[in-house]
Structure 1
Amino acid sequence: MEQLVERTGESCSVAQLDGSDIVYGARGGAVSKLATLSVQIGTPFPALQASLGKVLLAALPADDLEQMLA
């Protein structure tokens, strides 16, 4: 993850869905930006409000996604 951060200049995170939330499992590299998000491992965020959550939701089968959004 640190190598990816160095190459891209972007932060890198790993999370998994937990119901309608994502839970962060790993985070690599703090990158200086105008706006940053302070994330600790195990921190839950609503999946629909986080870009990483939207990516994970997009990978769900249609029926599972519909049930999640209901």
Structure 2
Amino acid sequence: DEQYEEFELIYSLNRDLGLPVSLEEIEITGEQWKECEKRIPDMSDVAHYPYRVTEEMLEKAMRQLKERAQKNV
């Protein structure tokens, strides 16, 4: 949803606390994530969000996360 400042704050906090900031760190493969991308938009809790979450939004968010993680390498 393009809340970049909030993303950066949470990403940095998680990294500083030693929490996972990538799929690899929680042992989820790209293939497993793709399956999740298909299911997440139809999950009951996501239905209560103030906007529709789409597979495309999830794909974009994951690309941004990967790009951000590369800056730490």
Q: TM-score, normalised by structure 2?
A: 0.28
Q: Which has the higher strand share?
A: 1
Q: TM-score, normalised by structure 1?
A: 0.28
Q: Which has the higher helix share?
A: 2
